[in-house]
Structure 1
Amino acid sequence: MALEYIPFNRPYATGKEHGYIQDALDSRYVSGDGRFTKLCHQWIERRTGCARALLTHSCTSALDIAAMLLDLKSGDEVIMPSFTFVSTANAFVLRGAVPVFVDIREDTLNLDERQIEAAITPRTRAIAPVHYAGVGCEMDTIVAIARRHNLRIVEDAAQGIMASYKGSALGAIGDLGSFSFHETKNIMSGEGGCLLVNAPEFAQRAEIMREKGTDRGRFFRGEVDKYTWQDIGSSYLPSDITAAFLWAQLDQAEYITGERLAIWDRYHAMLAPLEQRGLLRRPIVPADCGHNGHLYYVLLPQDADRNAVLKKLREAEIQAVFHYVPLHSAPAGMQYGRAHGDLARTIDLSARLIRLPFWIGLPEQHQQRVCETLGAILGR
């Protein structure tokens, strides 16, 4: 009998998406900042405590606005991990800034806060921590460093919705934050994102930049009698159809997160024997971090051939995948950024990481098969 294929991801729908999209269509207002956009903004502001939430086309767009708000000049530097998606760096490179790549921690794979201060120069303007897998960076230390050196913090919380650090929502701790609602994320709208404005002084300018550099928002609120070009900006508003889809997901965020955490916990229990045998390392979540079950990864032994392991999993009809190629080793990373130190952990850990199939509805027997197959491959 042929084995059933187990995909890496399967986007989840709550069942309310079609109805809300129809509501948006019936309202005859489907462009940006309609009723559903406002509902999403209110939910995110209430849930995270940010001063202002602004939906965008993507997390990339949210980071782009954040970088514009910092008024970066050519040659300014922004400290970040190399182990992240390209958008973290691109947002600042587009403003003429230089990404300074710092190594990651052994346990969480997050930016190593102990190495930040040594990477600061007179050109440093900001720190961009990335909360990998929905597990928070050591934000108390990062905030303290930023205050000592008068730096801004832009949180890349693309994977961090419904996750927290010491009770504070990820994305709402630094000056600015960002969420992703890409189809691979816990809460999704196909494509989509959100800028979280936590420093109130950025709120009005962020709204203007998001609206093509105009004060259109103030006009619709009756605060000005016409709207005009006020600042740099671009068109970052998603349609209210996208927001309607997202609202169906946000409305079920507690359920979605609970289901993902249950899947994460099952993997964690099933893989404990393999870790005890030294065949892999499971994820580590610090006690003061409330994670959201965004993904489940394992780290292979240093002598393992990751490509061979992935190939054998594919042959067993299991789609597991690697993750980021470190940015400092990429052609654009070498051209536009610089590495602080040898980034030995980034190089080592990124080369050993495998992400396992993970989606709401993933049957427990599928998880068991994934773990048994992985154990058989690594135990040979």
Structure 2
Amino acid sequence: MIPFNKPYLTGEETKYITDAVASGKISGNGKYTQKCQQFFEDRFGIKKALLTTSCTDALEMAAILINIKEGDEVIVPSYTFVSTANAFVLRGAKIVFADSRKDHPNIDETKLESLITSKTKAIVPVHYAGIACEMDTIMDLAKKYNLFVIEDAAQAIDSYYVGKDGVKKALGSIGHLAAFSFHETKNIISGEGGLLAVNDEQFIKRAEIIWEKGTNRSSFFRGEVDKYGWVDIGSSFLPSEVIAAFLWAQLENLDKIQSVRKQHWEKYQNNLKTFAIDHNVALPVIPDYATNNAHMFYLVCQNIEQRTALIEKLRKQNIHPVFHYISLHSSPFYEGKHDGRNLSETDRFTDCLVRLPLFYELNVDTVLNQMLY
């Protein structure tokens, strides 16, 4: 069976983990944590990066930082993982679900303004498959209505947005805050793991406090205060040095990993064009303003029956494709809270999108041979 995903190891992970253990500091915020954080700040232009135990934790930190409270509204795409919405629900927010674009599962930026009310506090664009949302429009709306933008960049490491001004910006560096994932299904992994990107300086000091269980411990160790104590709400969001050491081995090899994944993605795209026409399925769309980080390759079928048949066919040939999100607005938890709007594109992607295997060591030719011959 060709699996949907297989974690790639660079060979340096255990070496760095051993080094972290030997250092005598494995509880977090040590050498490897700082190396990983500095990497994101230097390479992607993030003002302050903080490692977390998951992308979910990073989103929950973001919800605390913007002071989400009961009655606030947060606009979130319905076609996303539950953590995108749950982080704000935990703080008492009402989720207002937005539909996807027709050409891509990303949030439809043209429909956002109609969803904004006096209670709206934030917009959370999700860069699905590592492909940028139309961030100029989103940031303009945020400025117009005094809203926060929190990028869910879980899938978007090393992917970029080219604005109307021609400036190329890393995803995760544009919104006020952003969250990355290093789950084993992502391009760069640490098993579990995430990162909060702070791009608005007003949040930097408080982010460190929330990250350290609500204490000013980081300031104390930098010598900025003579003692530390409990000064705000927070939780145990920072990961151990073992996780950070594993992650550092991956980050050191980012360019190598990305190069191979992009080769796989391009081979799929180039060889499935005729298949797509013959079977009336759609290939991924990369807008002019977005780059491709080869996080995912997917097909969009005409209906759920066609998708089910395709999945069954490939599994019989020892290939393991999978579908993706179930619309959050129709989930058992939230369907009674949704305002009843028809989110037709979200539902279409729920029924029709299928993801093909994509990982570093994949032999794409094997998959293509089974699909095409």
TM-score range, shorter-chain basis? over 0.9
**One-letter amino acid of the structure 1 residue matched with residue 135 of structure 2:** M
In structure 2, the residue matched to 1:287 is 288
Give runs of aligned pairs for residues 341-352 of structure 1, distance below 5 A.
Answer: 341-352=341-352
Residue 168, structure 1, aligned to residue 169, structure 2? yes
Give runs of aligned pairs for residues 349-364 of structure 1, distance below 5 A.
Answer: 349-364=349-364
Give runs of aligned pairs for residues 299-318 of structure 1, distance below 5 A.
Answer: 299-302=300-303, 304-318=305-319
On the 8 A contact 1:119/1:340 being kept in 2, the answer is: no
Determine helix, strand or coil for the equivalent of 1:331: coil
On the 8 A contact 2:134/2:289 being kept in 1, the answer is: no
In structure 2, the residue matched to 1:189 is 190
On the 8 A contact 1:98/1:338 being kept in 2, the answer is: no
Alpha-carbon distance in structure 2 between the residues aligned to 1:205 and 1:292: 31
In structure 2, the residue matched to 1:371 is 371
In structure 1, the residue matched to 2:150 is 154
In structure 2, the residue matched to 1:50 is 46
Residue 243, structure 1, aligned to residue 244, structure 2? yes
Give runs of aligned pairs for residues 187-226 of structure 1, distance below 5 A.
Answer: 187-226=188-227
In structure 1, the residue matched to 2:83 is 87
Alpha-carbon distance in structure 2 between the residues aligned to 1:97 and 1:355: 32
Alpha-carbon distance in structure 1 between the residues aligned to 2:304 and 2:63: 40
TM-score by length of 1: 0.95
**One-letter amino acid of the structure 2 residue matched with residue 281 of structure 1:** A
5+ residue gaps, structure 2, are 163-167
5+ residue gaps, structure 1, are 374-380
Determine helix, strand or coil for the equivalent of 1:230: coil
Give runs of aligned pairs for residues 122-161 of structure 1, distance below 5 A.
Answer: 122-161=118-157
Alpha-carbon distance in structure 1 between the residues aligned to 2:153 and 2:340: 23
On the 8 A contact 2:41/2:47 being kept in 1, the answer is: yes
Q: Once structures 1 and 2 are overlaid, which stretch shifts more, 360-369 or 109-118?
A: 360-369
Residue 267, structure 1, aligned to residue 268, structure 2? yes
On the 8 A contact 2:319/2:367 being kept in 1, the answer is: no
**One-letter amino acid of the structure 1 residue matched with residue 84 of structure 2:** T
Q: When the two structures are aligned, how many residues end up with a matched partner?
A: 368
Determine helix, strand or coil for the equivalent of 2:190: coil
Alpha-carbon distance in structure 1 between the residues aligned to 2:365 and 2:72: 51
On the 8 A contact 1:58/1:181 being kept in 2, the answer is: yes
Match of 2:4 among 5, 8, 28: 8
Tell me how far 1:361 sits from its aligned partner.
Answer: 1.4
**One-letter amino acid of the structure 2 residue matched with residue 189 of structure 1:** S
Alpha-carbon distance in structure 1 between the residues aligned to 2:15 and 2:69: 46
Cα shift readout 1:275-301 (whole Å, capped 9, x = no counterpart):
222431000001221120001000112
On the 8 A contact 2:74/2:94 being kept in 1, the answer is: yes
**One-letter amino acid of the structure 1 residue matched with residue 65 of structure 2:** L
On the 8 A contact 2:47/2:199 being kept in 1, the answer is: yes
CA-atom RMSD in angstroms: 1.2
Residue 109, structure 1, aligned to residue 105, structure 2? yes
Alpha-carbon distance in structure 2 between the residues aligned to 1:250 and 1:320: 27
**One-letter amino acid of the structure 2 residue matched with residue 32 of structure 1:** G
Alpha-carbon distance in structure 1 between the residues aligned to 2:345 and 2:105: 9
Determine helix, strand or coil for the equivalent of 1:334: coil
In structure 2, the residue matched to 1:62 is 58
Cα shift readout 1:68-98 (whole Å, capped 9, x = no counterpart):
0111121110001000000000000000001
In structure 2, the residue matched to 1:333 is 334
Alpha-carbon distance in structure 2 between the residues aligned to 1:232 and 1:334: 31
Cα shift readout 1:228-282 (whole Å, capped 9, x = no counterpart):
0010000011000100000000011111111111100000011100122243100
Alpha-carbon distance in structure 1 between the residues aligned to 2:307 and 2:273: 20
Cα shift readout 1:308-331 (whole Å, capped 9, x = no counterpart):
322222121110000000100001
Cα shift readout 1:152-173 (whole Å, capped 9, x = no counterpart):
0000000000001011111110
Tell me how far 1:50 sits from its aligned partner.
Answer: 1.1
Alpha-carbon distance in structure 2 between the residues aligned to 1:51 and 1:204: 12
Determine helix, strand or coil for the equivalent of 1:305: helix
Tell me how far 1:26 sits from its aligned partner.
Answer: 1.3
Structure 1 runs (4+) deviating above 6 angstroms are none
Determine helix, strand or coil for the equivalent of 1:333: coil
**One-letter amino acid of the structure 1 residue matched with residue 91 of structure 2:** R
